[in-house]
Amino acid sequence: MVTSGRGPGRLASPATASVLACFAVVVIAAAIWLGALVPGGDLGQNILNLIVFIMLGAVGLVVARAQPRNPVGWLLLGGALGLALSTAGGDYAVLVYRLGHRTFPLGPVAVLLNLLWSPAIVTFGLIVLLFPDGRLTRR
């Protein structure tokens, strides 16, 4: 139960940021592996994109652990995770639907994950608006 935002029950904690970052690393590793399985895919471009996602996630992890109440770190971490899930989902959907690997489960889930690129892009607009202290500036 989340009460006042203090103590071990709060959602925006450094431990939560670490768990999300570990999940993002696993998803990025899976995306690299899935990208290598797709014949004719541009593996170099996939790896370059995923390096960018790792950098965004690393900065998000540092900010979210240091200042859990600042939404910029959480948005960076969530955006990197969303883009990595979208990349992995897209490659998985190609394997299932275009290349005919029907034995792979969760094809429809992969199609839905592929759509996560759009909310992830929106988070970067929010980051620009909320930078540096997590509040909208007033003039």
- Give me the mean pLDDT over the 17-27 stretch: 94
64 in Cβ contact with 14 (< 8 Å): yes
Residues 6+ apart with CB under 8 A from 14: 64, 65, 68
- pLDDT value of residue 9: 52
pTM of the model: 0.85
Average pLDDT of the residues of the chain: 88
